[in-house]
Amino acid sequence: MAEQTQILLEQADLGRTIGRMAHEIIEKTGSPGDLVLIGIRSRGVHLARRLARKIEDIAKLAPPVGVVDVTPYRDDRTQEEARAAVGAFEAQVAVDEKTVVLIDDVIYRGRTIRAAMEAVERLGQPKRILVAVLIDRGARELPIRADIIGKNFAAQDGQRVNVLLEESDGVDRVTLAHWQRRGGD
């Protein structure tokens, strides 16, 4: 159970951060016409939709948004479980020859992103894959990097970064809680 909670980002910070990330995505990917955003379920999807709106405001072109659920690809599931899960993509997008930006709320051990890359590969052959996350909390277990980062925060092992978003939690806020870790990112 949570012992204590500390606020990392307030609503206004979150809005500014997402705005800056949208600019950075445009800057790093060049032509917005080739851009595809893929949100990782579930908060990554809300972030992807927000980023797509911001990008539309800036570049006058809304990138398509795909949704991926990586649970069937996660390496901590057994082969049998993985086989039983059908179709990781809930909203498919064409990725061939596109610049794909994978979007998640928090990057931690890197396993979710690796699984998402695997799922994208099943969709087609993108020109490039980048990763955008709201919070990079460090402590990677795989050689995966985030290209666009909202905020770096080196969290301790027993701490938990909670990203709360209006769409799912009724409020925009990022908090840090001392939590008993239950595994996973």
CA–CA gap between residue 47 and residue 38 (Å, rounded): 10
Short-list 157, 41, 16, CA closest to 104: 41
SS3 of residue 61 by DSSP = coil
Contact with another protein (CB under 8 A): which of 16, 20, 127, 181?
Answer: 127
CA 44 from centroid of its chain's CA atoms = 4
Position 96 contacts another protein (CB under 8 A)? yes
Q: For residue 75, state whether it binds another protein (rule: CB under 8 A).
A: yes
Burial of 152 (0-12, 13-18, 19+ CB in 10 A): exposed
Binding marks (x or -) toward another protein, 8..37, rule CB under 8 A? ------------------------------
Q: Is 183 in the site for another protein (CB under 8 A)?
A: no
Contact between 149 and 22 under an 8 Å Cβ cutoff? The reply is: no
State the nearest-atom distance from the C-beta of 18 to another protein, in Å.
20
Chain positions contacting another protein, by CB under 8 A: 45, 64, 66-67, 69, 75-76, 83, 86-87, 89-94, 96, 102, 113-114, 117-118, 121-122, 125, 127-131, 141-147
